[in-house]
Amino acid sequence: MTVTPEKSTAEKSPQQPQSPASGADAVPKPGGAEAPAAKPPVDMVELTIDGIPVSVPKGTLIIRAAEQIGIEIPRFCDHPGLDPMGACRQCLVEVAMPGPPGPDGKPGAARQMQGPPGRMKPQASCTMTVAPGMEVKTQFTSPGAEKAQHGVMELLLINHPLDCPVCDKGGECPLQNQAMTSGRPVSRFEDIKRTYPKPINISSQVLLDRERCVLCARCTRFSDQIAGDPFIALVERGALQQVGIYEDQPFESYFSGNTVQICPVGALTGAAYRFRSRPFDLVSTPGACEHCASGCAIRTDHRRGTVLRRMAINDPAVNEEWNCDKGRWAFASPTVGDRIELPLVRDAAGELQVASWPEALAAAAAGLRGTKSAVLTGGRISVEDAYAYSKFARTVLHTNAIDFRTRQHSSEEAQFLASTVVATGPNGGATTYADLEAATNVLLVGFEAEEESPIVFLRLRKAFRRNKTVVTSIAPYASRGLTKLGGTLIPAAPGTETDVLAADAAADALSGARNVVLVGERLASVAGGFAAALDLAERTGAKLAWVPRRAGERGALEAGALYGLLPGGRPVRNVEARAQVAAAWGVADLPTDVGLDMSGIIAGAAGGGVTSLLVGGVDAADLGAQAAKALEKAFVVSLDYRPSSVTAYADVVLPVAPHAEKAGTFVNWEGRTRPFQAALSTTALSDYRVLDLLADELGVFLGVRSLAEIQREMSALGAWAGGRYHRPTTTASLVPQPAPGQFVLASWHLLLDKGSLQDGEPFLAGTAHPARARMSSVSAAAVGAADGDVVTITGPAGSVRVPLEVTDMVDHVVWLPANSAGCRVSDLGVPVGQLVTVIPGGAS
């Protein structure tokens, strides 16, 4: 990382006076940000609903217009996120349209819509759009509409089992509620109900009770329209119509949980939650998802100290009403039975023994004191925890050797983050979800949206469906996610992305009026990738955004958990920046060394230059080939809540709180703060509190005892307004040339894989996509393997054996899922972009 701050701040307009790191979105700055595109004037339509005048944009559905004035029309199939269907007919209202204009040119008296003539024909308010002068009468003012709604409700219930007392949905069921508000008190149905065996699995995690289903098609429309996974469809007809799955296409959608949430009855239930609780016994806590950088607003529901389910919360700016299955269902890992509840200290015999907090803190302090320390925070911590690590490193350990990146990374990336990403936010003109939706073109590089940030994927799909946004991806092959975005692939072998970004094809993909380039963290594996992306953005005027995979990375960047940066994006080597931070922290000065990045820290620990490590939630497999040696050699203090490959080496393990038991803030890829509360009240401590105790033990007052204290300090410190680091100018390096039998390794994480946060949720794991190696037909022929054959991929450290899927992709490349069942790329001992050998055969 080049650590010279830019000479003149005037060269570049000073950006973002306030950082998300301060606990709030960056504030608008006149002239600094791109002005939001002026919205074209909207034609408004005047009408009355139940006699109340209302003015809504042309094209608004009656049911939405009614909501504007607080009139709720009952509905089942209607959902604002889905295309109108008009199937359930529950939302029938009486409508009168203005008559033809009289001689004076004014519209005639409103005439009731009828059919057959003489009989009021109620209209479905979920499919009919407003018209000028329309007079709508809902169930509140029209006996006819009320009668129609009662009739539909009675019909909906004739084949419904009315098993509310044993139904998961009972208590929060739109059918139950609306049967009370808009139904007859007593059913006249005394004949035979349609029955089915119940429930049946439509996937390992979603169960279908066909008796309860009202056939509103919300689930099938969601899967088809929103997720692009039309793996469920209505089959059969009449009253025997039902949601069906395909024989050879399992319902393995990453978004299937949303169908359970939007089901207006208890027809779709989650396997993990079925029969576990009643809604009215649950305590709900709003929060943010900890799994990726999308930043979904979620709700955590617990009963008597056990988290039972999580739901998506409607946040129009971020996740709208959706989340992914990982965010919804992967919350069981803290409860699989191996929680570290008490501190552990390694005894003389080398065994970890339970210790009291004072003992453990004393042992940790003793081990750290006087050593050359370094800090690895991991990418999953809250911004407040990251801040505490950052402050601890600088004021207690007196080092800049701190890095949140426990994955492939580069100094170019750090420079890119410091120059371009840190201390930007939605209110300061940074790229947002709304920008993606409004974009003409979006270019993805080093980033598989569906796998690595699924809500970004959903928004891109919405943009593609609604606004015809053209998505282009620079990748080795066109993934299913890209296909669902109607996207175009610019094929690129790992390592060649830099050259591709510089080529005309990339610029051509950004020829529209509003362009966005999304770079993933994986671009760090390509020399010159970030520099080329910056060049491209400058050349085409495109907005550029960085999308990390883990939820805590962006916040850790803002908090200064990166060797060259102090909180708020302050360059470590800038005297004024250091002075600001030192003043805020009440210390005389801060370390001025260059610091170390993750690989430097591991190399240092392995080589002896670093003698102690403070490690947050990190998997040793993410630390590279020398991890074992480094962890073995150094004194390791590990903060974790479950035994891991790091705690296995740790000298002291200090237990910390998992996500559900702590409060804090994430910062999503946009730079938007995503606060979360503790769903469960336990004695577990968040990392910042443990660090504060440890600092006390080391005789330093860290001042991070509470969230409020940290947030106050971060807010007071604010974002750095001075000169930033220069943007990287790294050039491409030579790409390895595969010899016969050798292939360049390509890889990324699938959304559902062996990640430890997904532990303890077998139903979710049941829909993970199976591990497959991918090679082109030319490459497959070169090794003599056919589609479906097991192949063995070997690197210096080991091999993996997986079935081959011959894929339309670049030649001389083999792609593997990074951490799926039966395929862990870290076992190979080579990073992406390097060479591995592939041979046919081997037992999978």
How far is it, in rounded angstroms, from Cα 526 to Cα 733? 8
Stretch in the footprint of another protein (CB under 8 A) among 35-43, 84-92, 772-780, 785-793: 84-92
Q: Which is nearer to another protein, 238 or 699 (CB)?
A: 238
CA 341, CA 657: separation in Å to the nearest integer?
9
Contact status: 468 vs another protein (CB under 8 A)? no
For another protein, the closer of residues 214 and 282 by Cβ is: 214
Q: Which two tokens stand for residue 837?
A: 């050998």
Task: Please pick, from the candidates 189, 200, 541, 733, the single residue that binds another protein as defined by CB under 8 A.
Answer: 189
Give the one residue of 11, 43, 191, 248 binding another protein; rule: CB under 8 A: 191
C-beta of 88 vs 620, nearer to another protein? 88
The only residue of 64, 75, 79, 89 in contact with another protein, by rule CB under 8 A = 89
Is residue 192 within the footprint of another protein (CB under 8 A)? Answer: yes
85 binds another protein (CB under 8 A): yes
Strands (E), 618-714: 635-640, 652-655, 664-667, 673-676
Count CB neighbours of 672 within 10 A. 23
DSSP letters of 778-800? HHHHHHT--TT-EEEEE-SS-EE
Q: Give the residues across from 792 on adjacent strands.
A: 801, 839
| Complex with another protein: residue 189 or 701, whichever CB lies closer | 189
Sequence-ordered alpha helix ranges (H) in 654-737? 687-697, 707-717
178 in contact with another protein (CB under 8 A): no
User: CB of residue 47 vs another protein: minimum separation in angstroms?
Assistant: 18
Contact of 777 with 829, CB cutoff 8 Å: no
Query: In this chain, which of 154, 359, 499, 811 binds another protein, going by CB under 8 A?
Result: 154
Q: How far is the CB of 115 from another protein (least distance, A)?
A: 5
Q: Which of 24, 52, 131, 158 binds another protein (CB under 8 A)?
A: 158
Q: What is the C-alpha to C-alpha distance for residues 573 and 72, in angstroms, rounded to an integer?
A: 60
Residue 486 vs residues 228, 441, 448, 538, 570: alpha-carbon distances, Å: 10, 12, 14, 26, 41
Question: Of 69, 240, 786, 797, which lies in the binding site for another protein, with binding defined by CB under 8 A?
Answer: 240
Per-residue x/- track, 104-133, another protein (CB under 8 A): -----------xx--xxxx----x------
| 512 CB-near residues (< 8 Å, 6+ apart) | 439, 440, 441, 470
Nearer to another protein, 187 or 799 (CB): 187
Q: Tell me which stretch binds another protein (CB under 8 A): 85-93, 203-211, 569-577, 827-835.
A: 85-93
> Omega of the bond prior to 199 within 30 degrees of 0, cis?
yes
CA pair distance 232, 200, nearest whole angstrom: 13
CB of 234 to another protein, least distance (A): 7
Q: What is the DSSP letter of 315?
A: B
Nearer to another protein, 151 or 609 (CB): 151
Q: Is 184 in the site for another protein (CB under 8 A)?
A: no
Does position 64 bind another protein by CB under 8 A?
Answer: no
162 forms part of the interface with another protein (CB under 8 A): no
Are 10 and 701 in contact by the 8 Å Cβ rule? The answer is no
Does 84 engage in binding with another protein (CB under 8 A)?
A: yes
Residue 247: count of CB within 10 angstroms of its CB = 6
Cα separation, 91 vs 218, whole angstroms: 15
Should residue 417 be labelled a site residue for another protein when binding is judged by CB under 8 A? no
| Residue with Cβ nearer another protein (122 or 795) | 122
Q: Which residues contact 483 (CB under 8 A, 6 or more apart)?
A: none
Tokens 């003539």 belong to: 117
Q: Taking the complex as a whole, how short is the minimal distance between the CB of residue 64 and another protein, in angstroms? A: 16
The structure tokens listed for 694 are 């440890």
Q: How far is the CB of 258 from another protein (least distance, A)?
A: 22
> Does residue number 134 form part of the binding site for another protein (CB under 8 A)?
no
What lies within 8 Å, CB to CB, of 749 at 6+ separation is 451, 452, 549, 755, 817, 818, 819
Nearer to another protein, 243 or 456 (CB): 243
Choose the stretch contacting another protein; rule: CB under 8 A; options: 188-196, 256-264, 407-415, 722-730.
Answer: 188-196
Binder of another protein out of 33, 45, 152, 458 (CB under 8 A)? 152
Under the criterion CB under 8 A, does residue 221 sit at the interface with another protein?
A: no
C-alpha span between 486 and 483 (Å, rounded): 5
Find tokens 């009614």 and name the residue.
66
Minimum CB distance to another protein, residue 53 (Å) = 25
How big is the site for another protein, counted in residues (CB under 8 A)?
A: 40
Element (H, E) at 675: strand 673-676
Of 45, 148, 421, 679, the one binding another protein by CB under 8 A: 148
What CA–CA distance (Å, rounded) separates 408 from 404? Answer: 11
Round to whole Å and give the CA distance between 218 and 226. 11
The nearest distance, CB 151 to another protein, in angstroms, is 3
**Interface segment toward another protein; rule CB under 8 A; list 81-89, 429-437, 580-588, 772-780:** 81-89
Closest of 684, 687, 716 to residue 384, by C-alpha: 687
Question: Least distance in Å: CB of 157 to another protein?
Answer: 9
Contact present, 188 and 196 (Cβ < 8 Å):
no
Using only C-alpha atoms, the chain has a radius of gyration, in whole angstroms, of 29
Query: What is the pairing mode between strands 344-346 and 652-655?
Result: antiparallel
Binding pattern for the stretch 732-761 against another protein, x by CB under 8 A and - elsewhere: ------------------------------
- Tell which one of 237, 280, 370, 737 touches another protein (CB under 8 A): 237
DSSP letter for 609, please. Answer: S
Does residue 267 belong to the site contacting another protein (CB under 8 A)? no
Residues in contact with another protein by the rule CB under 8 A = 84-90, 92, 115-116, 119-122, 127, 147-148, 151-152, 154-156, 158-159, 188-189, 191-192, 194, 214-215, 233-241
